[in-house]
Amino acid sequence: MLKLNNIEVVYDRTILVLHGVSLEVPKGQIVALLGANGAGKSTTLKAISGVLKPERGEIIAGSIDFNGVRIDHREPAEIVKLGISQVMEGRRVFEHLTAEENLIAGAHTRHDRRQIRQDLELVYGYFPRLAERRHVKAGYLSGGEQQMLAIGRGLMSRPKLMLLDEPSLGLAPLLVEEIFEIVLRLNQEEDVTVLLVEQNAAMALSIAHHGYIMENGRIVLDGPAEVLRNNEDIKEFYLGLSEVGVRKSYRDVKHYRRRKRWLS
Q: Give the binding site for another protein (CB under 8 A).
A: 8, 10, 12-14, 16, 60
Residue type, 143: G
Q: Write down the least CB distance from residue 15 to another protein, Å.
A: 9
* Residue 36 or 60 with smaller CB distance to another protein: 60
Query: Cβ(219)–Cβ(22) under 8 Å?
Result: yes
Q: Write down the least CB distance from residue 10 to another protein, Å.
A: 5
Q: How far is CA 247 from the centre of its chain?
A: 27
Beta strands in the chain (DSSP E): 2-11, 15-25, 30-35, 57-66, 69-70, 84-87, 161-165, 193-198, 210-215, 218-224, 241-243, 246-247
Q: Tell me, what DSSP letter sits at residue 257?
A: P
* Residue 47 or 107 with smaller CB distance to another protein: 47
Nearest by Cα to 88 from 26, 30, 153: 153
Residue type, 11: Y
* Residue 17 or 221 with smaller CB distance to another protein: 17
Q: Write down the least CB distance from residue 209 to another protein, Å.
A: 34
Reduced to 3 states (helix: H, G, I; strand: E, B; else coil), residue 65 is: strand
Q: Phi first, then psi: what are they for 141, rounded to 5°?
A: -75, 160
* Residue 7 or 162 with smaller CB distance to another protein: 7
Cα–Cα–Cα angle for 127, 110, 56, rounded to 5 degrees: 90
Q: Write down the least CB distance from residue 43 to another protein, Å.
A: 15
Cα–Cα–Cα angle for 12, 9, 206, rounded to 5 degrees: 130
* Residue 92 or 258 with smaller CB distance to another protein: 92
Q: Write down the least CB distance from residue 66 to another protein, Å.
A: 25
Query: Cβ(137)–Cβ(97) under 8 Å?
Result: yes
Q: Write down the least CB distance from residue 8 to another protein, Å.
A: 8
